[in-house]
Chains A and B, each alone.
Chain A
Amino acid sequence: MLPKEIKDRLEAEIRHVEHPRELAVDVMFAVQEHYGYLSDAALAEAAALLGMTPLELDELATFYTFTFREPVGKYVIHVCDSVVCWMNGYASVRDYLCRRLSIGMGETTADGLFTLLPVCCIGYCDRSPAMLVNRRVHGELTPEKIDGILAKLRREAESGAERPKVQGVDAITG
């Protein structure tokens, strides 16, 4: 069950709009943020809030890239594999990450910390090769930079910090 404050907030937002369905993605994101992914139960809960059937919401959840219907790690690393990153070393970034995390693409580390996925162009071609960690972008990747990012995330996880939320307006450069 969703905590009351999340549920109340979502219900209030839904009440505010004319067609609850238009908030489908927002509600899925919020529920996913809480549970880590959209389990069948989470999907049903989200659907009920929206007045949709689980199937109707699943038609969307399975369509989109950033809604997860299977468990993912605490940190989801999306490596951009589209054409600019590809020509600027995507394969090496991918291989480096696979090696450092000892997992293949599409897998989650045994400690549940990291999931590695490929993703289409994320709109940071000027800073390729690039990747996202929980939708926060990291560009101009080098082995050192990747090591630094992974180390920081591990420290963050160890310190028991809250599950990281999607990035805020701290990095504002375009």
Chain B
Amino acid sequence: MTLANYPQVLFQNRRPDRIATLEEYRASGGYQALAEVVGRRSPREVQELVLDAALLGRGGAAFPAGRKMMTIAADAPFPRYLVCNADEMEPGTFKDRVLIHADPHMLIEGIAITAWAVRAEKAAIFIRPEYENAARILEREIRIAAAAGYLGRAILGSDFSLEIVVHRSAGRYICGEVTAQLNALMGQRPNPKQPPPYATEKGLWDQPTLAHNVETLACLPHIVRNGAEWFKKLALTPTGAGTKIFGVSGKVKRPGCYELPIGVPLSEIIEEYAGGMLEGSEFKACLPGGASTGFLPRQHYHVEMDFDALKKVGNRLGTGAIMVFDHKTCLVAATLNLMEFFARESCGWCTPCREGLPYIRDLLARIEAGEGEPEFVPMLEEMKTHLFRSYCAFAPGAAAPLESLLAHFKEEIQKHIREKSCPFKKEPEPGVAGLAKPRFIA
């Protein structure tokens, strides 16, 4: 990995095949920030600091973290809760897992600082079941942190107490959506819940609740320690702030997680860090921020990976999970796969998502199988628009890849329909009976 160009903040203690210990974390300045704020800086000061640092949520929605914290009023009732969203179910995304495995105490300290900033005395880390390893690491390190006085009663001699529990999910994408997650935490069906009231007013058990993504929380110690200006300057773009963990996957030589400044060009990530495209592959498009962002076509290959810059090209930075597709990959089929995912995972609460997605999936499957009709295209276009009228942000997320397929790759759809077959299929898909020779990593 050639990372020398850029400072490593969240990954400063990342080593191959090892988890940073408490000592290692402390040696890198860990828990100084906590000591600096707890009992010393008012919650309001910390909130303002985070606001000044222009930290945007890293869970996908990019909401200013400081602003969200400030919606918990100073006189809001107690107890208050903090939820760390480690569900990471967005296809293509695996940065939170890597972060937890690299340096769990950074997250723990981030949680403690944020809890202080809203005076939450109980925090839950909501983690997907596939991350059992990470869950156990966190449970172990939480105990270690508590023994060292960073958690538990009267933290660092202050009057502040914090208990962190690790809550295992049993797996569903919608559980990552924060209102659904709160229901899941309470043992209710994880359907989302539209505000008002907002979670920060009435969340868990109707008490004020703040929820943040793992990566967002992990930024907190650094912002406290180095200041808002420093954090903002980490970014390469004037409106950006901080670094971002980009998880690159797909048709690249070195898939993996790379911490890079906000605003680093996409082409640089792919070529410098992800090792470039696979032999014989050409960049066709990527999903720049997880499955609920749109296909970014070749013409934006050099886009700066920054919230604003991606918005300008009609896309989103999302979770920064970059999935790279090459010229041999059928994007109709890729979209079909994504729709399959969204249709399967829809919570089933609202009609556009529950019924619209299977409808879209069916039409795409027909197109991909060479049974498409020209009138499917306007239907897809209309339904894509209507997906934005769903109850929560799930269906709009599902609409994003479809929308971009229609916007940038309509000709590819038309070709399927005209030719009554998928132009990308050179050999028949091996049957389930498994007669054909398995064809791995194409």
Touch A–B, Cβ below 8 Å: yes
A96: chain B residues within 8 A (beta carbon): 434, 438
A75-107 contact mask (Cβ, 8 Å, vs B): 1 or 0: 000000111101111011111101100001100
Q: How many residues of A contact B (CB 8 A)?
A: 64
B412-442 contact mask (Cβ, 8 Å, vs A): 1 or 0: 0000000000000000011111101011111
Residues of chain A from 103 to 127 with CB closer than 8 A to chain B in the complex: 104-105, 119-127
A120: chain B residues within 8 A (beta carbon): 89, 91, 173, 341, 344-345
Binds B, one of A2-10, A154-162, A166-174: A166-174
- In angstroms, how far is the closest chain A Cβ from the Cβ of B143? 13
The answer to whether A126 and B187 touch across the interface, beta carbons within 8 angstroms, is: no
Our pick among A67, A98, A174 for the contact of B100 (Cβ within 8 Å) is A174
Our pick among A91, A98, A123 for the contact of B94 (Cβ within 8 Å) is A123
B438: chain A residues within 8 A (beta carbon): 92-93, 95-96, 143
B110-150 contact mask (Cβ, 8 Å, vs A): 1 or 0: 00000000000000000011111100110010000000000
- In angstroms, how far is the closest chain B Cβ from the Cβ of A154? 19
Closest to B128 in A: A123
Closest to A59 in B: B189
A50: chain B residues within 8 A (beta carbon): 187
Closest to A173 in B: B17
The answer to whether A123 and B130 touch across the interface, beta carbons within 8 angstroms, is: yes
B436: chain A residues within 8 A (beta carbon): 95
- In angstroms, how far is the closest chain B Cβ from the Cβ of A55? 12
Closest to A166 in B: B132
**With contacts A21-B187, A172-B137 known, what are 6 further pairs, Cβ within 8 A?**
A87-B442, A91-B429, A95-B430, A120-B341, A123-B130, A174-B98
3 tightest A-B CB contacts, nearest first = A21-B187, A174-B101, A99-B434
Taking beta carbons and an 8 Å cutoff, which residues of A are in contact with B? 18-26, 28-29, 50, 52, 59-60, 63-67, 81-84, 86-89, 91-96, 98-99, 104-105, 119-129, 132, 135-137, 141-143, 166-169, 171-174
